[in-house]
Amino acid sequence: MKSRILIVAILVVVVALLGMAIFSLLSPQGESPITGSGNPALPTIEPAEGTGKILFQGSGGAVRMNNFYSSVIASSSDALLLFEDAEVGTVEFVPATRAFTIVTQAEYVEQLRRNRPILEGKLLEILGISQVDACKLPVFFGVLSIDPNLNGMELGLSFCPSGIPTP
């Protein structure tokens, strides 16, 4: 039993290291995933000296948050996966736009009502921020559904002034 746990732990570390290596190879030359992109329209992300946190500077203001790059569970050329639950949804960071994306699959509005606070809570937990700070960030909350009234909705965060209430 202990050997299985050890093997799983080693595999998790190897996958995380490979993901970070792939992400650094896919980053444009001269651009670090934590520093600015050189594009003034995009938020900047910089280390917060001596805190182990990062400073995300966007149009909504500065937000000091956990270094979510250490929480990546999978990465692709488009996004960094920070949380995934097959029944609830995903939380991702998209480096190209420097925005967070939350997607839930909800067949019915009841599932959306259940999943939305779970996913919003996960974002707050991963980043180690308050609801007020989350409202300063570029966050997109999308819905995939067989219900045509829900499918494709972009809700934002429910607790932000710009968020759309759950139907």
What is the SS3 string spanning 59-112?
CCEEEEEECHHHHCCEECCCCEEEEEECCCEEEEEECCCCEEEEEEECCCHHHH
**What pLDDT score was predicted for residue 132?**
95
pLDDT number for residue 47: 66
Instruction: Give the pLDDT band (50/70/90) at residue 85.
Output: very high
**pLDDT value at residue 71:** 86
| pTM of the shown model | 0.72
3-state secondary structure of 119: helix
* Largest Cα span, the chain: 52
Q: Are the C-beta atoms of residues 33 and 95 closer than 8 Å to each other?
A: yes
Q: At residue 151, does pLDDT exceed 70?
A: yes
134 pLDDT more than 90? yes
What are the tens digits of pLDDT across the range 1-48?
A: 545 543 433 433 333 333 443 444 334 333 334 444 444 445 666 666
Amino acid type, 64: R
Mean of pLDDT values over 46-62: 78
